[in-house]
A and B are shown apart, each in its own frame.
Chain A
Amino acid sequence: MLHKFAKFVVSCTVLLILAGSLVTSHDAGLSVPDWPTSYGWNMFTFPPRLWVANIFYEHGHRLIASSVGFLTIVLTLWLWLKDPRPWLRWFGVAALGAVVAQGLLGGMTVLLLLPPAVSTAHAALAEIFFCMTVAIALFTSPGWMRGHDGEADPNGNPGPFLQRLATLTTILIFLQILVGATMRHTGAGLAIPDFPLMFGRVVPDHWDAGIAIHFAHRLGAVVVALAVLTTAICIWRRHPDRAELAQPALVSVLLTIVQLTLGALTIITRRDPWINSVHVVCGALVLITSLVITLRSWRVKFVAGVPHAENGEVAA
């Protein structure tokens, strides 16, 4: 039950990331100029008839964020009361701290009039919090508690190479998202306006800060795609029978293909708000898929010396 609730929190966080990216894509971040109030109203009593135009996105984002914050409180309490693993309890507290900090950062973006550094930090912490909720869902899953088939065989365990490769891939994806967030919040999303060429060339013939950030994001996309593919091939060749690794590897490759397509479409459509926003969400999904692979590849080290819950389930 705890695991199902954690998955529900993950789903709500996906919705929250979509709502947040829609705010940026519609340039609606300052459409409600005050915080934590909304045009002087308490956020929860702000009349729906006033949720017009861009306020719909900004106020909707605040309400969904508040809901996710509440759900995280419940999740943390639940972990604290029912999970036997102290480190996971504290991890839940850390997730709660992250979502509170994220709310404060969101408020700062409004009160400080969207300084790029704060907005980018808000985007980065969103990804970190999302990863934390996914990790909690994974740590409370039957597969994690019970162990996966093949793990008992020492030869079947992912070696240090895959562990490091998966970790590196996850870090690269996170860095790529950071560059993307910087690009969005510095208004460099169309600094290079054509695709696949750049100003009609393979490499831009002139540079400024926006072009450099945009170029870094395109270059990062190639690096991340190669890293994801390399990790997947490594898993499929060395551990084809380990479904808990092979399946997310396939998902990560498919999501990366979709993500590259969405990135191209974002430019071709001149940053259509919905395509741009789904691009952000898909990036987050690529990240957590890689995170799941990474954590599963390290599972043996995680659970070493820790007593398993009976029947592979946390009492809940």
Chain B
Amino acid sequence: MRQRNVWMGTVAIAFAASVVACGGGTPSNTSAPPSAPAATPAGQKVDTAVAGKVAGTVLVEGTVPKNDPIKMNADPVCVRENKEPQFQATYVVSSDGKSLGNVFVYVKDGLGNYVYDTPTDKATIDQKNCRYHPHVFGVRVNQPIEIINSDPTLHNIHALPKGNSEFNTGQPIQGMKMTHTFDKKEIMVPFKCDVHSWMNAYVGVLDHPYFAVTKDDGKFELKDLPAGTYTIEAWHEKLGTQEVKVTLAEKESKEVTFTFKAAAPTTTNN
């Protein structure tokens, strides 16, 4: 009887493992498996002389919700530093309301075995006027991020990653700086200030340099991409993600368009 239970348990574990291994969780929106350039030998650097480019625009359809107003009266310093009414930076749209900013666009798949030098220059996030600047940005794995408090009030910077290590550090004095690195790729790592609950930001951590953040014109550019077939994803903090597949020949430039719907996120494949 005991042996039978052991066998049944083994079968159950094997079944559960096979479900996990087969992707029994979240369904994927991509119709085809990522096509890494099979010929790319491990450790090869990208030859920028023959590289191509993917550029494009992020559009938004429908009525974009108004950004939530921010009440800063819990901290008199924040009130003093902001003369104008403040709103969240969730939806940054062009004046015609058609293109969308603060969207993180990056190559999600297809890069294969290329290697890239880790940049030594620092990415920066500044706590100024009781807001994070920038609101959305990208860094490379192990690239130093300089966190600055430019405000004459105190902040705590609290990162809430899922794959990297969470941290929470106080910066009580104006001008304080600290440096942090993330050692794993992750889309996206939220930052928050637990003192000022309205302060939030997002950083995308990648092991390659092919990412960009759109401004309110919705435009982005991913330069120096080697020939290949790529899955490119656009991420927005409220509208979700969208993917496109792009096949790029040497020295080729391609344009792609992402169109988010303000009501609900959708996926398009160009």
Give bound CA distance, A39 to B77, whole Å.
Answer: 18
Give how many A-B residue pairs fall within 8 Å (CB-CB): 53
Is B75 part of the binding interface, using a Cβ–Cβ cutoff of 8 Å?
Answer: yes
Please tell me which one of the listed residues A34, A40, A53, A113 contacts residue B195 in the complex, with CB atoms under 8 A apart: A53
A residues in contact with B153, CB < 8 Å: 50, 52
Please indicate the chain B residues that have their CB under 8 angstroms from the CB of A30 in the complex: 156, 158, 168, 194
Say how far B130's CB is from chain A's closest CB, in angstroms: 9
Is A186 among interface residues, defined by CB-CB distance under 8 A?
no
Binds B, one of A21-29, A118-126, A305-313: A21-29
Contacts A52-B76, A52-B77, A52-B153; A33 near B168 (Cβ below 8 A):
yes
Residues of B contacting A29 with CB < 8 Å? 194
- The reply to whether A53 and B196 form a contact with Cβ atoms under 8 Å apart is yes
Given contact pairs A52-B77, A54-B74, A40 touches B197 in the complex (Cβ within 8 A): no
> With an 8 A cutoff between CB atoms, is B169 at the interface?
yes
Q: In the assembled complex, how far is the CB of residue A108 from the closest CB belonging to chain B, in whole angstroms?
A: 14
- B194 contact from A34, A54, A56, Cβ within 8 A: A54
Instruction: Let me know if B172 is at the binding interface, CB within 8 A.
Output: yes
* B154 contacts the other chain (CB 8 A): yes
The answer to whether B194 and A52 touch across the interface, beta carbons within 8 angstroms, is: no
Q: How far is the CA of A34 from the CA of B170 in the complex (A)?
A: 8
In whole angstroms, what is the CA distance A50 to B76 when docked?
10
- Could you tell me if B194 and A28 are in contact, using CB atoms closer than 8 angstroms? yes
Chain A, residues 9-41, CB within 8 Å of chain B (1/0): the string is 000000000000000001111111110000110
Is A260 an interface residue, CB under 8 A from the partner? no
A23 to B77, CA, bound (A): 22
Nearest CB in chain A: distance from B178 CB, A: 12
Is there an interface contact between B166 and A52, defined as CB atoms closer than 8 Å? no
Q: Which listed residue (A27, A32, A52, A56) contacts B170, Cβ 8 A?
A: A32
Point out the residues of chain B lying under 8 angstroms from A27, CB to CB: 194, 197
Q: A26 vs B193: C-alpha distance in the bound complex, in angstroms?
A: 12
Contact A50 to B196, CB < 8 A, known contacts A30-B156, A33-B158, A39-B154? no
Please encode chain B, from 52 to 78, with 1 for each CB lying within 8 Å of some chain A CB and 0 for all others. 000000000000000000000011111
DSSP class of A's interface residues: helix, strand, loop or mixed?
loop
CB-nearest residue of chain A to B198: A53
- A33-B169 CB under 8 A given contacts A28-B194, A50-B154, A55-B195: yes
**In the bound complex, what is the Cα–Cα distance between A222 and B168 (angstroms)?**
39
Most chain B CB neighbours (cut-off 10 Å) among A33, A40, A54, A113: A33
Instruction: Please determine whether A113 and B166 come into contact, CB atoms closer than 8 angstroms.
Output: yes
User: Which residues of chain A are near B168, meaning CB under 8 Å?
Assistant: 30, 33, 113
Contact with A along B159-186 (1 / 0, CB 8 A): 0000000101110100000000000000
Known: A39-B154, A113-B166. A31 touches B194 (CB 8 A): yes
Contact with B along A48-60 (1 / 0, CB 8 A): 0010111110000
- Give A54 to B74 CA distance when docked, in angstroms: 8
The answer to whether A26 and B197 have CB atoms under 8 Å apart is yes
Q: How far is the CB of B166 from chain A (nearest CB, A)?
A: 5
Closest residue of A by beta carbon distance from B130:
A53
Nearest-neighbor residue (CB-CB) of A56 within chain B: B74
Q: Cα distance A50–B154 when bound, in Å?
A: 7
Given A39-B154, A52-B77, residue A33 in contact with residue B197 (CB < 8 A): no
A32 and B77 CA atoms in complex are apart in Å by 18
Q: How far apart are the CA atoms of A26 and B75 in the complex, in Å?
A: 15
Residues of A within 8 A of B172 (CB): 39-40, 50
Chain A residues, CB < 8 A from B196: 53-54
Minimum CB–CB distance for B113 against chain A, Å: 36
User: A53 and B170: CB pair below 8 A?
Assistant: no
CA A32 to CA B158, docked complex, whole Å: 11
Cα separation A124 to B197 with both chains bound (whole Å): 26
Max chain A CB contacts within 10 Å: which of B153, B170, B194? B194
5 intermolecular pairs with C-beta atoms under 8 Å apart: A29-B194, A32-B170, A39-B172, A53-B195, A54-B195
Known contacts A50-B153, A53-B75, A53-B196; 12 additional CB pairs below 8 A are A29-B194, A30-B168, A32-B170, A33-B168, A33-B194, A52-B74, A52-B195, A53-B74, A53-B78, A54-B74, A54-B197, A113-B166
